[in-house]
Structure 1
């Protein structure tokens, strides 16, 4: 981590004494939150007073200079989910007379650090990141440096986050297909570094177990969220000697890729293979065969992320998903 992120050990001492995260201590010691009278705020201020802590604005890359701007980090804006999410963040910021700056990372750890440093150099008031990876320690570096931040759509289980209940979402998708009579369901999975993908997989496995579905490791394929990744993984699954009668794809984009793979094999959706996606992007309902999908409340997640970042709220926010059946999933044909 670059030295520009360093706040010094005293803020960490305050956070430890007050039993809060470093980012929470930083927010509550900001002059803009001087009117906060919660028990947490009182505890943080008392700890700062007892330790003789004085906020060093000159040493901080996040010193308040009236920018009233937050930085938003997303893998790519060409992804409909990320584009919609950023628009919701910008809408919530506008409601608060704030601005939002976005930077893309390509889901690459090196580009993530460069993008974050670029935003922080513009003295944003904090970061909203949809880019948390379980195989990278960048979020831990932000915590250690006391950089105000909130995770969104993904989580590391430590930093404040606003997400959907992805485990429940995966479970709902499988139960929907099981209720339609499908016993052999293929999983078009996502990248293992994304908590959203691992939780959807955990929920899918739970749904399979409870529904008595085949849990065959050959039915699990894929490691990406894109249309191309979905088409490749679905092609492998549909080419099995005993192909699945239904597919659950971890994003709507990969579900669209799965529909393409089915069509290339001369299969009809849902006549030959039912398909369920995830996120319920606007395109899902407008496809020639409308896509069944697990709806994620991107507006609520965006609002929750901004509140966690700017209102010094603690903990995390988890919003429930909803299964939306459409034409792409249907009752299995009798043999």
Structure 2
């Protein structure tokens, strides 16, 4: 494809297709990146790839300044800049012209917060409670099975919900497709396999090989929002903080493994992190947990 797409819709459709099919980005990321591109096109009235490819750091800085004036925070601004740079790189590929140097522009500095893991007992109570609070026995078994995959195998919620019935029956390992289409193998504990088997035995919908493994009440694919709502109800019942989310179970999986002696490289493989730097945050989590234990138990702190 060369530089003569003439409408805004054409440009955005090509960008959407590249992200969703070429890069296999998550639906959330695709929506955010396409929205960022749309704002840029509207602000600068651009309608062809070569014009977009010629944008420089000053153009991006002005676009970000306008967004910051609308109240965009540091984290969102950093994501917006990442989306803009990716869009310009795509435009350079599409323009059919010699690629100019990419704009050099630093995003705002982001202070990384530590993940907030739950304790092993809290994780168990959460899974029991989401099951007990469900409107139907099979839905309770389904919710528990999803959370078992997050805490017992370290899956992202999107990875768990993207599983199809072709994965059945579960064995001692499971091949998971993560971000960017990258595959990894994760071991499955007997309790995880038993939880999924319990759900499968109770699910009222036929589980064809190509169909989603986890179903909503009407038989369609289970949404992340329903899992998040189920966990929100459970944490309120248990008196846990708002940080006790489905994603916190994945954090807890990593933190508890590290505390039990797992090495960072193995943890990186289990979590599907592209870089070791993403995994190293768990060393700080574990240190923070140890400090909490020390402060609550040491005689001089009483």
TM-score normalised according to structure 2 size: 0.26
More strand by share: 1
Say which structure is richer in helix: 2
